[in-house]
Amino acid sequence: MRKKIVAGNWKMNKTLEEAKALLSEVVNMVKDEVTGDVTVVLCPPALYLTTSRQYITAGGRVALGAQNCHEKASGAYTGEISAPMLQSIGVEYVILGHSERRQYFGETNAQLADKVNSALENGLTPIFCCGESRDLRENGDYIGFVKDQLTDSLFHLSAETFAKVVIAYEPIWAIGTGLTASSAQAQDMHFEIRRHIAGQYGDAIAQDITILYGGSANEKNAAELFAQPDVDGGLIGGASLKSREFTNVVKAVN
């Protein structure tokens, strides 16, 4: 059975005191209310990762994730954070290739391949994001575009190493726009991603890879999205900033 994951990407939100309150609320709600086999990954701003560890017990249902890491292990890269640094403070997951990183910071597929390597070499689980723009969805080969993202950034990995990666499909046109892919649209792309992986690594690995949906999922649409056969959870943005709504999204996995 594939691992079910709901990850909360806080992006650049919350003051320290607000972050502490949200961490406490989510961790306790998950403990008290969530049943079934689902892993919750909380990804606060990097500034709060050490503080977050005080609320998140290693090996428990809630895991700690970072929103990004640099491809180099160390060096003169002012303002950046490396995978060894994240590993040293107990971070377990790291989001890589989010559409906002690609759009605002010019991250390329080749650069992301290096970031994936660094994360895996340091024991972190990459949540690798892929997805298409609205223009591509309406006018172009959006399936081919997403396949190229996977091929260029992940398919250099051995089968054994690739199996450690989590994929997050995020239709860019549905992030922060109020739009959401229909459950059928989400399922179709998740199926295509899984089929593309099978072509490279075989069906057994493709069927075992966790693929998350990451496009404005919330407590109203999560159950329908998560019910799709190839959707294994979600990478949640805005809804992760509200403890009750986020917990309801997590509960929708089951």
* Burial of residue 139 (number of CB atoms within 10 Å: 0-12, 13-18, 19+): exposed
Catalytic residues: 98, 170
176 labelled binding-site residue: yes
Listed range (172-181, 194-203, 218-227) with the worst mean pLDDT: 172-181
Angle between helix 243-252 and 16-33 (nearest 10): 40
Of 192, 196, 218, residue with least CA distance to 205:
196
Q: Which two tokens stand for residue 33?
A: 């209310």
Q: How far is CA 16 from CA 44, 68, 81, 148, 230, in A?
A: 10, 19, 19, 39, 37
* Residue 150, amino acid: L
pTM value is 0.96
Of 243, 238, 235, residue with least CA distance to 253:
235
248 labelled binding-site residue: no
Q: What is the pLDDT of residues 74-105, one digit of tens each?
A: 999 999 999 999 999 999 999 999 999 999 99
| Contact criterion met (CB below 8 Å) for 75 and 52 | no
Q: What is the pLDDT of residue 216?
A: 81
| End-to-end alpha carbon distance in the chain | 14
11 labelled binding-site residue: yes
| Residue in the block written with tokens 């966790």 | 210
Q: What is the pLDDT of residue 181?
A: 83
CATH class of 4-252: alpha beta
